[in-house]
Amino acid sequence: MLTICSDPLPRTDLTYAAFRASFHETLERLVLSRQFDNDPWQTFGFLTQVPFLKSVPPQVQLDLLSETWYRHVCSETHVATLVDEAVIFAACETAARMARVNSDEFTDLLEQGPQTLIRGVHDGLAEAMKQLHMALDCEGDFLVISQFEDLPPVEARQLKSELCLEEERLDELFDVLGRWRVTPGFADRLRGLLSAQEIRHALQVVAN
């Protein structure tokens, strides 16, 4: 279970839908980019919703999503990191857009998954997913950290102090920028989010 400021992230079909849709869109873009794109610096994936994390490699984005999903569904209680909060925000925003832009494709994607949704795409699912992260007691520090990139060190420290940002929590975001490969246990963490066949496909993609 994930908690944000002591409040648990609700275990609802909204969270499942947001994570599943964001995972699949990022995975599909990764497959297409390897077939057709020649620009190694092109950024894509659900985490581009967070400016500071827009350059995170797509396979790492998928890995981060799997980690947050696992902490969300496991029986142990985990305090959400800034990375977790960023993943939740980006997943909800991405999935809400997908549901609005292509509702039929979004419906098919959810129907093929291992869980059954209580509500359908036409029952206000897009707005509900967007409201999910907005209802959390989260200050959105992961969205303001990009402001520090162009500041001199002294000014950056002063601004962090004024905003009451904890260095240790910020360091977690910086650490993500140095990752390139998925971590062990990737497949196991995706249980409940993807089908067994989808997990095998995802493993093949990220292993290339």
Q: Give the span between the Cα atoms of 109 and 94, in whole angstroms.
A: 14
Indicate the range of 36-40, 115-119, 141-145 predicted with least confidence. 36-40
**Residue 162: φ, ψ to 5°:** -65, -35
Rg, the chain, Cα only: 17
Question: What pLDDT, in 10s, does the model give residues 50-107?
Answer: 998 999 999 999 999 999 999 999 999 999 999 999 999 999 999 999 999 988 899 9
pLDDT band at 158 (very low <50, low <70, confident <90, very high): low
Domain count, the chain: 1
Q: List the 7-8 sheet strands across, edge first.
A: 7-8, 2-4, 78-79
Q: Which residue has the higher pLDDT, 65 or 175?
A: 65
Of 80, 139, 112, nearest in space to 16 by CA: 112
Helix (H) or strand (E) run with residue 4 in it: strand 2-4
Which structural domain range is residue 38 located in? 2-207
Q: Give the span between the Cα atoms of 67 and 106, in whole angstroms.
A: 23
Q: How far apart are the first and last CA of the chain?
A: 32
Question: What pLDDT, in 10s, does the model give residues 130-153?
Answer: 888 888 877 667 777 766 665 455
